[in-house]
């Protein structure tokens, strides 16, 4: 068995996303894949469990038999941290060809595991090449390479050619330049309702549907259908007191309506939404507050929806060097 340690210097860089993509491709190639995401805390006597939806997601897509608490052990950040993680990994490694470990940017853990390392960096957060090179060098012989994530599609070639050459000079392999993708960053209807502390009034069975676009209902009724028709698979934020706008949105490709003002919709709107299978979320606060809430929710979006997986695999097949990873792990592709 070999261990692949996937890490990043900043939260939200896309570690879980890359873990899922690499693991799923390994599975498709006939490899048995394990997963571990230790939660490191500075509490001396940490609780046995900390809520984290990622291990639940990985357990599902990798078809793992181990209980979630073994996939996400809580470990105190004290002495012998590397050995503690190694001990936790032994409980999920049996019978696996590759164990994928998602964790903090700590070279001692990689050394204790004898793991090969992939570092994920978020290109959109003002990437510092000098800082990334310094981080990479700390991992020494264990480093496989880096992945630059969430790169605007208009800059893909520039980053792929320019940055790769610069990292190559420092002896660092760029394993992938992954484009920013709306589907991977989106939310489900249920997640939206939760973040907005809103109530889903109907079609609750549609709460797992992904919302790819957002629009505001702030125009005259005559232009409503034409305006809303410009975006598909969207959530429409509109005031509770504008049933005309709500009905106009229902005539287009809409995933859900989000009503501001906490005022119940008219029966006509609710019946129309029910007939078309479009959930209505009733939320407190004005439209501006809801928009702010949506922006905050998008910033915290996680890759934990199986519906995003096919999009991710397509992206990684085009922009990720699986051959280099397989070679570095010493496994046949």
Instruction: Identify the residue with better confidence: 129 or 106.
Output: 106
- Using alpha carbons, select from 157, 206, 211, 205 the residue that is nearest to residue 182: 211
Residues sharing a CB contact under 8 Å with residue 30, sequence separation 6 or more, in sequence order: none
Question: Distances from the Cα of 195 to the Cαs of 190, 282, 294, 298, in angstroms?
Answer: 9, 12, 8, 10
The whole-number pLDDT of residue 227 equals: 84
pLDDT tier, 166 (very low <50, low <70, confident <90, very high otherwise): confident
Least confident of 41-50, 80-89, 245-254, 306-315: 41-50
Share of the chain above pLDDT 90, in %: 62
Task: Give me the pLDDT at residue 138, please.
Answer: 94
Kindly state the average pLDDT of the residues 262-268.
Answer: 91
Q: Is the pLDDT of residue 273 over 90?
A: yes
CA geometry: angle 205, 296, 243, nearest 5 deg:
55
Max mean pLDDT range (44-48, 162-166, 265-269): 265-269
User: How confident is the model over 40-54, as pLDDT tens digits?
Assistant: 887 665 555 555 678
Q: Which residue has the higher pLDDT, 78 or 194?
A: 194
- CB atoms inside a 10 Å sphere around CB 140: 11
Long-range contacts of 44-50 (CB under 8 A, 24+ apart): 44/76, 44/78, 45/76, 46/74, 46/75, 46/76, 47/74, 48/74, 49/74, 50/74
Residue for token digits 């934990």? 304
Task: Note the pTM of the prediction, 2 decimals.
Answer: 0.83
Domains of the chain by start residue, with CATH: 2-182+303-329 (3.40.50.300), 187-299 (3.40.1390.20)
Q: Residue 52's pLDDT is what? A: 66
pLDDT band at 18 (very low <50, low <70, confident <90, very high): very high
pLDDT beyond 70 at 236: yes
Look at 141 and 126; give whichever has higher pLDDT.
141
In this predicted model, what pLDDT tens digit does every residue of 114-123 receive, in sequence order? 999 999 998 8
Model pLDDT, residue 86: 94
pLDDT value for 186: 85
pLDDT at residue 199, rounded to an integer: 94
Smallest CA-to-CA distance from 96 within 55, 57, 66 is with: 66
How far is Cα of residue 72 from the mean position of the Cα atoms in its chain?
Answer: 17
Whether 264 and 240 have beta carbons less than 8 Å apart is answered as: yes
Q: Where does the pLDDT of residue 12 fall: very low under 50, low under 70, confident under 90, or very high at 90 and above?
A: confident
Helical packing angle, 15-28 and 309-319, nearest 10°: 80
**DSSP letter assigned to residue 264:** P
| Best CA proximity match to 119, nearest among 13, 233, 257, 239 | 13
Going by C-beta distance under 8 Å and a sequence separation of 6 or more, which residues neighbour residue 289? 260
From first CA to last CA, the distance across the chain in angstroms is 15
Q: What is the pLDDT of residue 93?
A: 95
The predicted model gives 98-106 an average pLDDT of: 96
In this structure, the chain runs to a length of 333
The pLDDT of residue 224 is 67
Neighbouring CB atoms inside 10 A of 333's CB total 12
Is residue 260 scored above 80 in pLDDT?
Answer: yes
Burial classification of residue 229, based on how many CB atoms lie within 10 Å of its CB (0-12 exposed, 13-18 middle, 19 or more buried): middle
The residues pairing with 103 across neighbouring beta strands, listed in sequence order, are 7
Between CA 273 and CA 269 the distance in angstroms is 6
| Mean pLDDT within 289-298 | 88
In b/e form, how buried is each residue of 101-121, taking b as 16+ CB within 10 angstroms? bbbbbbbebbbbbebbbbbbb
Residue 304 in contact with residue 68, Cβ under 8 Å? no
pLDDT band at 109 (very low <50, low <70, confident <90, very high): very high
Q: Answer whether residue 29 shows pLDDT above 60.
A: yes
- Tell me which H or E stretch contains 4: strand 2-7
Tokens (6 digits) for 211: 């919302």
Section 316-325 average pLDDT: 96
- 35 in helix, strand or coil? strand
pLDDT of residue 72: 92
3-class SS of residue 204? helix
């Amino acid at each position: 068995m070999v261990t692949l340690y996937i890490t990043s210097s900043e939260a939200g860089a896309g570690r879980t996303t890359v873990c899922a993509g690499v693991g799923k491709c390994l599975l498709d190639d006939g490899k048995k894949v394990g997963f571990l995401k230790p939660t490191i805390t500075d509490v001396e006597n940490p609780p046995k469990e900390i809520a984290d939806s990622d291990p639940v997601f990985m357990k599902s897509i990798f078809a793992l038999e181990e209980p979630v608490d073994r996939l996400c052990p809580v470990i105190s950040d004290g002495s012998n941290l590397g050995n503690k993680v190694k001990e936790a990994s032994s409980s999920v490694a049996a019978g696996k060809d590759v164990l994928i470990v998602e964790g903090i940017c700590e070279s001692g853990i990689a050394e204790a595991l004898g793991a090969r390392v992939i570092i994920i960096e978020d290109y959109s957060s003002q990437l510092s090449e000098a800082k990334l090179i310094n981080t990479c060098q700390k991992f020494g012989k264990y480093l496989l390479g880096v992945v630059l994530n969430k790169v605007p599609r208009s800059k893909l070639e520039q980053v792929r050619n320019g940055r790769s050459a610069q990292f190559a000079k420092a002896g660092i392999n760029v394993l992938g330049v992954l484009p920013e993708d709306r589907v991977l960053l989106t939310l489900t209807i249920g997640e939206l309702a939760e973040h907005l502390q809103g109530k889903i009034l109907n079609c609750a069975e549609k709460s797992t549907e992904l919302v790819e676009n957002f629009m505001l209902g702030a125009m005259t009724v005559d232009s409503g259908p034409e305006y809303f028709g410009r975006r598909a698979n969207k959530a429409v934020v509109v005031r509770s007191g504008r049933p005309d706008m709500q009905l106009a949105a229902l005539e287009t490709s809409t995933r859900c309506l989000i009503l501001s003002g906490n005022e119940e919709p008219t029966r006509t709107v609710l019946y129309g939404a029910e007939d078309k299978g479009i959930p209505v979320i009733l939320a407190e606060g004005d439209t501006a507050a809801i928009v702010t809430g949506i922006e905050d929710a998008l910033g915290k979006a996680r890759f934990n929806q199986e519906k995003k997986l096919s999009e991710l695999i397509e992206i990684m097949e085009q922009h990720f060097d699986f051959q280099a990873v397989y070679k570095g792990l010493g496994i046949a592709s």
